[in-house]
């Protein structure tokens, strides 16, 4: 504002300058003006006046969402009719999921009070009257919108302050589990004004699997209850026994949707010179029920046996399944019978991946399918590994952001090696690389040329847990690493009308984020663009009708397809509008308070003969003129005297 004043002042002075060049008689007026402003500055004569703006009409926001059906809507319509009968000037706008269109065209599966307030505030009414039950179920905050309002917002709550209802508000459980793994379900129960006992049942295909008795205390009640079962394939849901007189019976059951998958990790440990490290690797991997651990051992370096329980059986051929993960540990190539080197090469080509743990013997004869080239020198000392810089921000396909290499075991000794040009170093040291990775004919090979100290960890302590995590995460990388794209949603099951937030995580082969992709989320023949929220993470919000849906995220770069990922979600028949009953007095009161309005119950308005004074706020702005606080005034006075002096010099006047 100060700069604008200066610009206007300069414009005014220049205009006078060119005018006065032709009208010399204005010199006196110019001088008088400068003297007047100087006296005004010296005396600091202040002026004060008010700008008053007449208030506009009222704007009524009427909630017509599904939760307003019945008694609530009857109260709302009576209040609107009372306004009409009283001759009040107002405009009424219905809202639910959206706002600003006809009531019949509105979708009513959700309540978005924040959007309605934003729309009303933009209309600049004299005041806003919000008639609603306050059961807002969209993500934006209505209170933040109300804080921005320059007019008062009066809120009117329709319905009973506290209804009577029992509800299962959520069920928390894993969406994918392995065959033979137990399923833990945490059920969230809420109740209002309904004391007594009721049964909570877990059912499969309509038959009760497990039942628990819940004792309600009355008033506001909250409880979390757990079921733990060994699930089978079928349709499961949780049901809460209803009570006569509830506001809503539809929220007494909650369907479950999960996937049972077969065991995925088939791990084969092979060594012809096993050390006591084998015991720790076996124990770490065998305790995980998701692993199928197989040990094939040679005690003389040539003849291999599969360990079965306390016994063993001879292995003539290495016929491993195509999803096998192979650990080759401390292989002594000099002891292998002819042709066995080719056997190991074929193993690397047939499985999902190979973890090659180098021993002290040179591995040069096998180096064509390994990421390292041996230099033949063995170093025997403690070696500290450091993660390569490009790997420090790599999560290696684990959404929780943990870096696989942070849990790598320490090393005592190594066989000095150099990395192949097309391979990648994951872990380095002052004496050379320790862990490397590459693809051999499209198969993943990870080689460790350092000698890991598994044997230090004899107890279940933090370090042993970290070594276990290293192996488990590495095997996850072998199995799932090639997917590169992982689509997830904030939940696996939604209510009808509930916002679904989908996120696509995109990495390259070693876990670095794939940036600047063009990603579309496709479902039911609808295509929704996904926005890159951060490096390699793309997000979209959508709403789906009841039923089971497949979300498919397809990514491209410069018109070329990068890949795609899928996610199954289930939308229940039950509307999110009926998840809660009664009213949200706290929200409506807060909206009124932050905007300078007032909160009312509908009954309190209907029981009065006259409508409460919903007075629009009168706009009154005080304007003060204090000369000494106006910086451009100093500039104007100086300019007037300088300009008069210059003009006189130009005209040759004294």
Percentage of residues of the chain with pLDDT beyond 70: 80
Q: Tell me, rounded to whole angstroms, the distance of Cα 591 from its chain centroid.
A: 27
Out of 246-260, 277-291, 587-601, 639-653, give the one with best mean pLDDT. Answer: 587-601
Task: Compare 437 and 234 and report the one with higher pLDDT.
Answer: 437
- Over residues 443-456, the pLDDT tens digits come to 889 999 998 877 55
What are the tens digits of pLDDT across the range 463-501?
777 778 788 878 877 876 555 688 888 777 788 888 899
Intra-chain end-to-end CA distance of the chain, in Å: 38
Task: Return mean pLDDT, the chain.
Answer: 80
Pick the CATH number of 58-160+582-619 from 3.50.70.10, 3.30.365.10, 3.30.360.10, 3.40.50.410: 3.40.50.410
Quote the pTM value.
Answer: 0.55
Query: 2: pLDDT confidence band, cut at 50, 70 and 90?
Result: very low
Is the pLDDT at 558 greater than 80? The verdict is yes
The CATH number of the structural domain formed by 265-482 is 3.40.50.880
Q: Tens digits of per-residue pLDDT, 232-244? A: 878 888 999 988 7
pLDDT top residue among 438 and 618? 438
8-16 contacts at long range (C-beta below 8 A, 24 or more positions apart) = 9/632, 9/635, 9/636, 9/639, 10/639, 13/636, 13/639, 13/640, 13/643, 16/643
Supply the pLDDT for residue 8. 45
Strand 311-314 relative to strand 547-557: parallel, antiparallel, unpaired? unpaired
- Give the model's pLDDT for residue 87: 67
- Report the range of poorest mean pLDDT among 101-110, 253-262, 428-437, 530-539: 101-110
Cβ partners under 8 Å of residue 356, min gap 6: 328, 363, 370, 445, 446, 447, 448
Residue 345: the pLDDT is 77
Helix (H, G, I), strand (E, B) or coil at 122: helix
What residues contact residue 334 under an 8 Å CB cut-off, 6+ apart? 361
Q: In the predicted model, is pLDDT for residue 579 greater than 90?
A: no
Q: Do domains 58-160+582-619 and 165-261 have the same CATH topology?
A: no
Task: Report pLDDT for 190.
Answer: 86
**Sign of the CA dihedral running 565, 566, 567, 573:** positive
Name the residue with higher pLDDT: 157 or 635.
157
Q: What is the pLDDT of residue 224?
A: 92
Q: What is the pLDDT of residues 298-326, one digit of tens each?
A: 888 888 899 887 788 888 888 888 888 99
Model confidence band, residue 50 (pLDDT cutoffs 50, 70, 90): low
The domain defined by 484-577 carries CATH number 3.40.50.1980: no
Structure-token pair, residue 81: 């009719």
- Residue-range domain boundaries for the chain: 2-46+630-651, 58-160+582-619, 165-261, 265-482, 484-577
Residues 608-636: tens digit of each pLDDT: 877 777 766 555 556 666 777 777 777 77
Strands 443-448 and 353-357: parallel
Place of tokens 């894993």: 174
| pLDDT given for residue 412 in this prediction | 87
Q: Which of 23-27, 393-397, 513-517 has the lowest mean pLDDT?
A: 393-397
Taking residues 143-169, what's their average pLDDT? 86
635-640: Cβ within 8 A, 24+ apart: 635/6, 635/9, 636/9, 636/13, 636/37, 637/34, 637/37, 637/38, 637/41, 639/9, 639/10, 639/13, 640/13, 640/30, 640/31, 640/33, 640/34, 640/37
- Across residues 207-216, what is the average pLDDT? 91
Q: Which CATH class is domain 165-261?
A: mainly beta
CA atoms in the 13 A half-sphere facing the CB of 113: 26
Please say if the pLDDT value at position 144 is more than 90. Answer: yes
**CA–CA separation, 393 and 124 (whole Å):** 49
């Amino acid at each position: 504002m100060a700069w604008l004043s200066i610009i206007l002042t300069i414009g005014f002075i220049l205009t006078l300058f060119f005018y006065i060049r032709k009208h010399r008689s204005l010199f006196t007026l110019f001088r008088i003006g400068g003297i007047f402003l100087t006296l005004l500055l010296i005396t600091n004569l202040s002026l004060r006046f008010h700008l008053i703006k007449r208030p506009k009409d009222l704007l009524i926001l009427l909630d017509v969402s599904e939760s307003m059906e019945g008694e609530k809507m009857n109260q709302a319509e009576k209040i609107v009719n009372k306004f009409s009968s009283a001759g009040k000037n107002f405009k009424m706008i219905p809202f639910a999921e959206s706002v600003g269109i006809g009531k019949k065209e509105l979708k009513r599966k959700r309540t978005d009070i924040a959007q309605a307030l934003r729309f009303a505030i933009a209309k600049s009414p004299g005041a806003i009257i919000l008639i609603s039950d306050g059961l807002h179920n969209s993500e934006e905050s209505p209170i933040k919108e109300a804080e921005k309002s320059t007019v008062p917002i009066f809120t009117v709550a329709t319905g009973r302050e506290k209804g009577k209802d029992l509800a299962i508000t959520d069920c928390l459980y894993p969406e994918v589990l392995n065959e033979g793994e137990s399923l833990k379900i945490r059920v969230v129960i809420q109740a209002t004004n309904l004391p007594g006992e009721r049964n909570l049942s877990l059912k499969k295909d309509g038959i009760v699997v497990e039942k628990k008795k819940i004792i309600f205390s009355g008033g506001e009640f909250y409880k979390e209850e757990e079921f733990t079962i060994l699930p089978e394939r079928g349709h499961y849901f949780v049901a809460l026994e209803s009570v006569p007189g509830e506001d809503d019976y539809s929220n007494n059951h909650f369907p479950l949707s999960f996937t049972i998958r077969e065991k995925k990790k088939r791990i084969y440990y092979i060594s012809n010179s096993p050390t006591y490290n084998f015991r720790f690797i076996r124990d770490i991997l065998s305790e995980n029920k998701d692993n199928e651990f197989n040990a094939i051992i040679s005690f003389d370096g040539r003849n291999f046996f599969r360990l079965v329980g306390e016994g063993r059986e001879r292995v003539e051929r290495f016929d491993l399944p195509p999803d096998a993960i192979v650990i080759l540990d401390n292989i002594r190539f000099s002891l292998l019978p002819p042709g066995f080197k080719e056997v190991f090469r074929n193993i690397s080509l047939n499985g999902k991946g190979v973890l090659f743990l180098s021993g002290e013997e040179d591995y040069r004869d096998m180096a064509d399918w390994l990421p390292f080239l041996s230099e033949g020198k063995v170093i025997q000392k403690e070696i500290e590994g450091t993660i390569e810089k490009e790997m420090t921000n790599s999560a290696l396909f684990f959404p929780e952001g943990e870096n696989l290499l942070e849990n790598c075991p320490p090393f005592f000794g190594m066989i000095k090696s150099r990395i192949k040009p097309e391979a990648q170093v994951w872990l380095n040291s002052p004496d050379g690389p320790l862990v490397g990775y590459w693809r051999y004919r499209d198969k993943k090979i990870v080689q460790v040329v350092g000698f890991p100290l598994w044997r230090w960890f004899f107890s279940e302590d933090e370090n042993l847990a970290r070594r276990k995590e290293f192996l488990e995460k590495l095997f996850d990388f072998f199995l799932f690493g090639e997917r590169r794209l992982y689509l997830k949603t904030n939940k696996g099951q939604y209510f009808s009308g509930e916002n679904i937030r989908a996120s696509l995580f995109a990495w390259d082969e070693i876990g670095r984020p794939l940036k600047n992709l063009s990603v579309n989320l496709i479902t039911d023949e609808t295509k929704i663009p996904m926005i890159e929220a951060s490096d390699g993470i793309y997000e979209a919000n959508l709403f789906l009708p009841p039923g089971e849906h497949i979300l498919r995220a397809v990514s491209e770069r410069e018109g070329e397809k990068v890949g795609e990922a899928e996610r199954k979600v289930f939308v229940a028949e039950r509307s999110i509008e009926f998840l809660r009953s009664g009213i949200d007095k706290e929200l409506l009161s807060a909206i009124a308070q932050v905007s300078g309005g007032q909160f009312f119950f509908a009954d309190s308005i209907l029981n009065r003969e006259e409508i409460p004074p919903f007075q629009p706020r009168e706009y009154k702005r005080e304007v003060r003129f204090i000369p000494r606080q106006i910086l451009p005034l100093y500039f104007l006075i100086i300019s007037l005297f300088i300009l008069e002096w210059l003009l006189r010099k130009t005209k040759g006047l004294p």
